[in-house]
Amino acid sequence: MQSILIHRFDNGLQLLAEQMDYLESVAFSLQVPGGYVYDPDDREGLANFTCEMALRGCGERSARQFIEDLDNLGVNYNSGVASEFAGFRGAMASAMLDPALELVADFVRRPHLPADQLEDGRLVCQQEIRALDDDVAQQMMLELRRRTFNAPYGRAHHGTLESLASITLGDIRGFFEKMYRPDGAVLSVAGKFDWNHLIERIESLLGDWSGVENFEPVVSPPTAGDLHIEYPSNQTHIGLSYAAPSYIEDDYFPARAAVGVLADGMTSRFFTEVREKRGLVYSVGASYDSLRDAGAVFCYASSTTDRAQETLDVMRAELVRLGEGIEPDELDRLKVQLKTGLLMEQESSRSRCATLVGDWRLLGRVRTRNEVLSLVEGLTCEAVNAWLAENPPRDFRVVTIGKKALESPDAVS
């Protein structure tokens, strides 16, 4: 029996927890408003830079003391920003949760954001961008996202070398003051812990945390058009995207099933047609990305220059064929895979933590395993095909990077 527990503190902080007493570990994930969609247009990368600086000392601890204390507790942790949130995650032995939460509270409430580490922090953020120089697949995906999701949701979290150069300590402190607040923050805990004690502990650490302003980013359409980036490589990286329902829409599950038939595993259509039958690529895939108000499917492959056009053509043909419907045996296989995935997730405190907070962020509630199971079980070929008939994959955005631009039949000539 799954045990999901929910508590909202007076200051707006939302606590979600799942007891998994068969584990000895516990994981947490804290998300505060402070994602990259709140970057001012002339300060892209500010959210990421702020998150980097928040680790450089907080509360009574120096930067060094903070990470040493986390290591001394055996907390396996990381931090970073997503579109709407800055997050801090960790997993550890169950007994270490109490002291770890004290460090988490310092991170979100009392970072020093020290002037003498500003340039070191800036260098690290800039190195993250420079490392992209050799990661052309990632460059391609960033450009594709920008052409798929509305701005600022489609932007890169790390900004540009130029925008980072212009960020001041005042910008960082201002961003922190405005964004790192309990109203809109979500903390999830999964694994072995005592629920009543957890509430008390968090009340004492975060109960008097305050700040209630809400900010909505100003939204504008995605960057228009397709893009080819000239690059002197023998490989061409191909990205193709199209719109899909967000996780909160009723249509999500049929849409997700269709993408599964397209690209999940070695029996998927992409793997079969692009790799196994034609040997066009070593890897080909698609991922379904859902924000709150929009979703999209991102397809990708890389092939040699001379076979890249055929690769893109076969991918397009498979997307058109997907619109014509899926077969019952394809759906049956996918359902088994999705159900096995749910079972595996239930054995990992980290995975459950991520799902709890993801559900809450998108749905405003948590789906139980049984609820998801019955949504998966309830999928029928008829329903998926009816949905596909109304919503065939279309209006593709294409970004390529390599020696030669590719032809797109639906490009405006």
> Measured between alpha carbons, how far is 259 from 297 in angstroms, rounded to an integer?
8
Alpha helix positions (H), 92-191: 97-109, 118-130, 136-146, 161-165, 169-179
Token digits of residue 292? 């709150």
Q: Decide whether 246 or 302 has the Cβ nearer to a copy of itself.
A: 302
Query: What is the pattern of x (binds a copy of itself, CB under 8 A) and - over residues 234-273?
Result: xx-x---------------------------xxx----x-
12 binds a copy of itself (CB under 8 A): no
> Measured between alpha carbons, how far is 199 from 344 in angstroms, rounded to an integer?
28
Shortest distance, CB of residue 40 to a copy of itself, whole angstroms? Answer: 24
> Measured between alpha carbons, how far is 332 from 267 in angstroms, rounded to an integer?
12
Q: Which residue has 């584990």 as its token pair?
A: 23
Shortest distance, CB of residue 103 to a copy of itself, whole angstroms? Answer: 13
Is residue 67 within 8 A of residue 77, CB to CB? The reply is no
Stretch that binds a copy of itself, among 2-10, 123-131, 214-222, 377-385 (CB under 8 A): 123-131
Q: Decide whether 271 or 298 has the Cβ nearer to a copy of itself.
A: 271
Number of residues near a copy of itself (by CB under 8 A): 67
Q: Decide whether 22 or 413 has the Cβ nearer to a copy of itself.
A: 22
> Measured between alpha carbons, how far is 210 from 109 in angstroms, rounded to an integer?
9
Shortest distance, CB of residue 78 to a copy of itself, whole angstroms? Answer: 9
138 binds a copy of itself (CB under 8 A): no
The DSSP H or E segment spanning 372 is helix 369-377
CA distances from 376 to 265, 268, 353 (A): 17, 18, 21
User: Would the CA dihedral through 343, 349, 354, 356 be positive or negative?
Assistant: positive
Q: Identify the CA nearest to 297 among candidates 262, 324, 268.
A: 262
Is residue 146 within 8 A of residue 157, CB to CB? The reply is no
Residue numbers 310-369 binding a copy of itself by CB under 8 A = 329, 332-333, 336-337, 339-341, 343-344, 346-349
Q: Decide whether 150 or 267 has the Cβ nearer to a copy of itself.
A: 267
CA distances from 121 to 56, 57, 84, 197 (A): 8, 12, 21, 36
Contacting a copy of itself (CB under 8 A), which of 23, 82, 118, 362?
A: 23
Is residue 222 within 8 A of residue 150, CB to CB? The reply is yes
Is residue 104 within 8 A of residue 28, CB to CB? The reply is yes
165 binds a copy of itself (CB under 8 A): no
Q: Decide whether 281 or 326 has the Cβ nearer to a copy of itself.
A: 281
Q: Decide whether 19 or 349 has the Cβ nearer to a copy of itself.
A: 349
> Measured between alpha carbons, how far is 308 from 280 in angstroms, rounded to an integer?
8
Q: Decide whether 70 or 398 has the Cβ nearer to a copy of itself.
A: 70
Shortest distance, CB of residue 63 to a copy of itself, whole angstroms? Answer: 8
Shortest distance, CB of residue 261 to a copy of itself, whole angstroms? Answer: 11
133 binds a copy of itself (CB under 8 A): yes
Stretch that binds a copy of itself, among 60-68, 107-115, 312-320, 353-361 (CB under 8 A): 60-68
64 binds a copy of itself (CB under 8 A): yes
Q: Footprint of a copy of itself on this chain (CB under 8 A)?
A: 22-25, 63-64, 67-68, 70-76, 91-93, 119-120, 122-124, 126-128, 130-131, 133-134, 136-137, 232-235, 237, 265-267, 272, 275-283, 302-304, 329, 332-333, 336-337, 339-341, 343-344, 346-349
